[in-house]
Amino acid sequence: MKESIISLLGIYFLSYFKFIAGPVLAPAAGFGVVTTILVTVAGMMSSVLIFTLLGKKFKEKLLLRIRKKKPIFTPKNRKIVTLWKKYGEIGIAFLTPLIFTPIGGTLILVSFGSKKRQIYFHMLWSAIFWATVFSLSIDQILEIPFFKALIG
């Protein structure tokens, strides 16, 4: 019991930083699909909550350090602005688990001035959607005999 709680906490904290860690590691630790989805969504949303509340302060301190070293209009920044113009809040939230980390996606939304309520809503449905897709996909992949034999 104690080991499973420690495993869940570890997966939760990894999902806080990198979304895909939850759906990959939870089945490997022996957890079911529902538990995997819940832990992954909880990890991402904790990250979203904290960095939405601290986003402006974090961004200001980060920019003070970076301004001296890097130009503002880098190819990466231009791609982010293009994504924002093309898809808006919904697109950034949808792509966050795929391309960005939960922290990165949240900071992008905060940077563009999205309202906190909208950030929470869009990131929540995105987290639930992608956690379900990844968890069910990985669950099906683990049913393949080759992978069953690999895991044991």
How confident is the model over 68-107, as pLDDT tens digits?
566 667 787 788 888 888 888 999 999 999 888 898 899 8
Spell out the SS3 assignment of the chain.
CHHHHHHHHHHHHHHHHCCCHHHHHHHHCCCCHHHHHHHHHHHHHHHHHHHHHHHHHHHHHHHHHHHCCCCCCCHHHHHHHHHHHHHHHHHHHHHCCCCCCHHHHHHHHHHCCCCHHHHHHHHHHHHHHHHHHHHHHHHHHCCCHHHHHHHC
pLDDT at 71: 63
Query: Model confidence over 29-47: pLDDT tens digits?
Result: 889 999 999 999 999 999 9
Q: What is the mean pLDDT of the chain?
A: 86
Q: Residues 58-68: what's their mean pLDDT?
A: 64
- How much is the pLDDT for 53? 87
pTM greater than 0.85 (yes/no):
no
For 46-74, what is the mean pLDDT? 74
